[in-house]
Amino acid sequence: MTTKFTTRSFVALVLLALLGVAFWTLAAGYTPDAELNRTAAYYAENTARETGAQNIVTAIIVTYRGLDTLGEVTVLFLTAAIVALVLGQSKAPRGGSGSGFLPSGELLQTGTKMLLPIIMLFGAYVFVNGHLTPGGGFQGGAILASGILLLLLAEPKRRFGHALISRVESVSGLVYVLIGIAGIVLAGGFLDNRILPLGTFGALLSAGAIPLIYTLIGLKVGAEFSSILESLEETEDA
Amino acid sequence: MTLLAPLAAAGFGLAMIGAALMALRARSTAVAVLAAGLVSLFASVLFLILAAPDVAMTEAAIGSGLTTFLFFYVLGRIRREGYDDD
């Protein structure tokens, strides 16, 4: 037993040392760039003119690399669907106790009532202002989902409308793709944000379709996370 | 001022390693989960120092917020169902 243990820890140590060497060579050979590389320089120079977005990161995520973002959202959708499929096998009966939690305390329930609107508002703020300030659809969606999680913790017996969440999810996904196709028809290509006027630089309703797209992404991500949490909540051990 | 950012970054890096060790060493699962959340929180502050506020927000919302609560949620369920079997 002891010899086996030492061999195992020896292997682990060797692996750790190899990992350390790999990271060390990476860190030792690192020299910070004196200037932006070609792509970064292009983005820094042309983002404001081409997309009207103040936050360059958002412009890259939503417009220049919009297709990648569609892929990310799809991956998240697949995850939510698979979790629902796997956990749906052992679903608690309707009206049953679900996870069988004891009712949560007064403190959590009152706190939830106070905090939930603020959390939801903040999530919406984060994704609506994605083109102006740091943050955006993914962050805002995660904040929305953490609000839902708080609600689930406070009232474990509560059932949410699965239909509502999946409808929000699919409608926002569909509109997202439709906006992308509208970009091909009306502007320069798939998910081009210039289908709407760029507006004044720095205003809330500016940067073309970016606020709209990021709102849709925020709703979609929030709905996907919420449906994962809900599937977890509603399962019951067989 | 130029020295402050690297110092703070190094400090938060060390704090991350400390919190990670705490997560590994902790006797109670709850403390381990909290320490793992702390790693994410320090990481998000580190991203902020390295001038990546977008990544910092994602890390704070998902890594430190949602994941920690999810762990507690599942822990609570395991405990509850474990007691049922007794």
Nearest CA-CA distance, residue B80 and chain A, Å = 7
Please, which residues have CB within 8 angstroms of residue A89's CB and are 6 or more apart in sequence? none
The confidence band for A238, taking pLDDT boundaries of 50, 70 and 90, is: very low
Which of B51, B58, B25, B65 is closest to A127 using CA atoms?
B58
Q: Give residue A123's identity as a one-letter amino acid code.
A: G
Nearest CA-CA distance, residue A101 and chain B, Å = 7
Cβ–Cβ < 8 Å for A189, A183:
yes
CA distance A137 to A142: 8
Mean pLDDT of chain B: 83
Q: Is A152 on the interface with B (CB under 8 A)?
A: yes
The mean per-residue pLDDT over the stretch A156-176 comes to 79
CB atoms within 10 A of CB A113: 11
Q: CA-CA distances (angstroms) from residue A177 to A100, A151, A164, A191, B52?
A: 40, 31, 20, 8, 28
Dihedral over Cα of B24, B28, B29, B35: its sign: negative
What is the predicted pLDDT for the residue at A118? 92
Please, which residues have CB within 8 angstroms of residue A156's CB and are 6 or more apart in sequence? A97, A98, A99, A101, A103, A104, A233
What is the predicted pLDDT for the residue at A92? 55
Query: How many H helices and E strands in chain B?
Result: 4, 0
Alpha helices in A29-65 (DSSP H): 38-51, 56-59
B74: nearest CA partner in chain A: A232
Residues of chain A contacting residue B77, judged by C-beta atoms under 8 Å apart: 99, 101
- Convert the pLDDT of each residue in A10-60 to its tens digit: 898 999 999 999 999 988 888 877 777 888 888 888 777 777 777 888 888
What is the predicted pLDDT for the residue at A126? 87
Q: Check residues B86 and B69 and name the one with the higher pLDDT.
A: B69
Q: CA-CA distances (angstroms) from residue A233 to A6, A76, A113, A228, B82?
A: 41, 19, 20, 9, 16
Nearest CA-CA distance, residue A185 and chain B, Å = 31
Which of A170, A31, A57, A202 is closest to B58 using CA atoms?
A57
Which of A227, A84, A231, A92 is closest to A167 using CA atoms?
A227
The confidence band for B86, taking pLDDT boundaries of 50, 70 and 90, is: very low
Query: What whole-number percentage of chain B has pLDDT above 90?
Result: 14
Which of B56, B62, B80 comes nearest A101 by C-beta? B80
The confidence band for B85, taking pLDDT boundaries of 50, 70 and 90, is: very low
pTM: 0.77
Tokens of A62: 């939503």
Enumerate the domain spans of chain B: 4-85
Q: What ipTM was reported for this prediction?
A: 0.75
Place of tokens 């067989």: A238
Mutating which of B17, B45, B50, B66 best tests the A interface, going by the most A Cβ atoms within 10 A? B66
Which of A160, A151, A125 is closest to A140 using CA atoms?
A125
Orientation of helix A66-87 relative to helix A162-186, angle to 10°: 160
CB pairs under 8 A between A and B: 53
Please, which residues have CB within 8 angstroms of residue A6's CB and are 6 or more apart in sequence? none
Which of B20, B15, B44, B45 is closest to B32 using CA atoms?
B20
DSSP string, A165-223: HHHHHHHHHHHHHHHHHHHHHHSSSTT-GGGS---STTSSS-STTHHHHHHHHHHHHHH
Q: Is A191 on the interface with B (CB under 8 A)?
A: no
Residues of chain A contacting residue B58, judged by C-beta atoms under 8 Å apart: 138-139, 142
Residues of chain B contacting residue A87, judged by C-beta atoms under 8 Å apart: none
Mutating which of B21, B45, B47, B54 best tests the A interface, going by the most A Cβ atoms within 10 A? B54
What is the predicted pLDDT for the residue at A103? 63
What is the predicted pLDDT for the residue at A101? 55
User: Does pLDDT of A145 surpass 50?
Assistant: yes
How big is chain A by its Cα radius of gyration, in Å?
23
CA distance A174 to A181: 11
- Convert the pLDDT of each residue in A84-130 to its tens digit: 888 777 665 554 444 555 566 788 888 888 888 999 899 888 888 87
CA distance B29 to A182: 51
